[in-house]
């Protein structure tokens, strides 16, 4: 009997230990679940003009104007008077094809035109004569109708020949490749006496007098870009050299992967140095004056609900509790930078910009760095 009692006690002890372990596991799982509800979110501070001043945006230099030139017709290259590194003026000859075949076609069409014009002149004389004769009823109306039809045909032949001559003259002009702007030859792709096809690359030309740089601006800052001022670009090759730049183009569509907009900066070539395409640099700028920024713009992805004013919402982050709260907003116009908010938000409030359909009221969140 005592042995049975000992076994029972042992079994009870094991059960208690197992129960304790299971309880500990349950508590650990509950703790992990509690941590998982703190959802990371992307967010922006509405109208945060200071954020623009705190950022530097990287990019690489490229020529404001660059082009790869091609002949529009085929032929043998008989002139290539430029080499890589040459500086050329607008209208200067860069390459030429043998024009003989195209000149012969022009001459043939000119001869055809002269013949067609002679035929038309005879038809006009015949028509004028028959108009006089019809008045005296010397000829029948059918005779005049035939004469006028012949005249119409002669005029059509002249018009067709003029068009053919124009095409031939264009082809002849295409045998000479001229510089569309002043610049520097950076590549040649053919040699003298080489046969080339139409639309085959021949010479690459760029204008180094102005430099462009494309930088990527986050969607949380893109609304401030049009009003940015005192933009400065500094290239790694010339540290300390600050080059003034202006925004010449703002992309209207964000990258699907980075959620950034391409912004093109243009600057004049500085004196004393040469910024070459491909050089890496960074752009900085001053935010617009606060009193000039009255419009609040947020990304379209921040808004959820319907499209009408009364059922459009955003998630506003309470900075004290780091939780989100649904806020109705009144939508304004849609711009390339996002949605204008007419009412419902104040400058400086934090709004969630992505994953809005995954949140619930009062959910705790943490903000992801841009």
Residues 6+ apart with CB under 8 A from 185: 82, 83, 84, 85, 86, 87, 88, 94, 203, 204, 205
CA distance 262 to 54: 19
The band of 27, judged by pLDDT with boundaries at 50, 70 and 90, is low
Task: Answer whether residue 162 shows pLDDT above 50.
Answer: yes
Query: Which of 35-44, 45-54, 118-127, 329-338 holds the top average pLDDT?
Result: 118-127
What pLDDT was estimated at residue 19?
54
Cα–Cα nearest to 301, from 312, 286, 292: 312
Identify which has the larger pLDDT, 114 or 224: 114
Work out the average pLDDT over 234-258: 89
Domains for the chain: give ranges and CATH numbers: 39-48+295-367 (2.40.420.20), 50-64+208-292 (2.40.30.170), 66-98+175-204 (2.40.50.100), 100-173 (1.10.287.470)
Q: Under DSSP, is residue 163 helix (H, G, I), strand (E, B) or coil?
A: helix
Identify which has the larger pLDDT, 186 or 300: 186
Work out the average pLDDT over 155-161: 96
Cα–Cα nearest to 47, from 304, 289, 301: 289
pLDDT digits (tens, 9 = 90+) for 310-327: 678 999 999 889 999 999
Neighbouring-strand partners of residue 45: 350
Counts for the chain of helices (H) and strands (E), in that order: 4, 22
What pLDDT was estimated at residue 341?
87
Q: 289-296 long-range contacts, Cβ below 8 Å, gap at least 24?
A: 289/229, 290/49, 292/227, 293/47, 293/49, 293/224, 293/227, 295/223, 295/340, 296/46, 296/47, 296/340, 296/341, 296/345, 296/347
**pLDDT-wise least confident of 52-61, 62-71, 102-111:** 52-61
* Predicted TM-score of the model (pTM): 0.60
What pLDDT was estimated at residue 339?
84
Alpha carbon 34 to its chain centroid, in Å, reads 45
Task: Answer whether residue 44 shows pLDDT above 50.
Answer: yes
């Amino acid at each position: 009997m005592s042995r049975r009692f000992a076994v029972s006690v042992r079994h009870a002890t094991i059960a208690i230990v197992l129960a304790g372990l299971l309880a500990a596991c349950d508590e650990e799982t509950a703790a992990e679940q509690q941590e998982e509800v703190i959802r990371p979110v992307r967010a922006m501070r509405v109208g945060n003009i200071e954020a623009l001043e705190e950022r530097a945006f990287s990019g690489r230099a490229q020529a404001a104007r660059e082009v790869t030139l091609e002949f529009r017709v085929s032929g043998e290259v008989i002139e290539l008077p430029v080499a890589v590194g040459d500086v050329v003026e607008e209208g200067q000859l860069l390459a030429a094809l043998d024009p003989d075949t195209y000149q012969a076609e022009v001459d043939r069409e000119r001869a055809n035109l002269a013949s067609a014009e002679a035929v038309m002149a005879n038809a006009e004389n015949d028509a004028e004569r028959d108009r006089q004769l019809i008045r005296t009823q010397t000829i029948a109306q059918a005779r005049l109708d035939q004469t006028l039809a012949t005249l119409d045909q002669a005029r059509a032949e002249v018009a067709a020949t003029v068009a053919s001559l124009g095409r031939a003259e264009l082809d002849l002009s295409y045998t000479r490749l001229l510089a569309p702007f002043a610049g520097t030859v950076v590549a040649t792709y053919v040699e003298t006496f080489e046969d080339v096809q139409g639309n085959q690359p021949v010479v690459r030309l760029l204008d180094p007098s102005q430099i462009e740089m494309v930088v990527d601006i986050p969607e949380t800052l893109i609304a401030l870009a049009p009003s940015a001022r005192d933009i400065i670009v500094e290239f790694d090759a010339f540290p300390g050299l600050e080059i003034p730049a202006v925004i010449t183009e703002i992309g209207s569509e964000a990258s699907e992967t980075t959620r950034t907009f391409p912004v093109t900066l243009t600057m004049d070539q500085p004196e004393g140095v040469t910024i070459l395409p491909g050089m890496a640099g960074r752009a900085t700028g001053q935010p617009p004056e606060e009193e000039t920024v009255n419009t609040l713009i947020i990304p379209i992805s921040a808004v959820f609900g319907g499209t009408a004013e009364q059922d459009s919402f955003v998630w506003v982050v309470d900075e004290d509790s780091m939780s989100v709260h649904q806020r109705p907003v009144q939508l304004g116009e849609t711009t390339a930078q996002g949605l204008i908010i007419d009412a419902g938000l104040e400058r400086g409030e934090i709004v969630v910009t992505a994953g809005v359909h995954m949140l619930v009221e009062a959910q705790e969140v943490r903000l992801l760095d841009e």
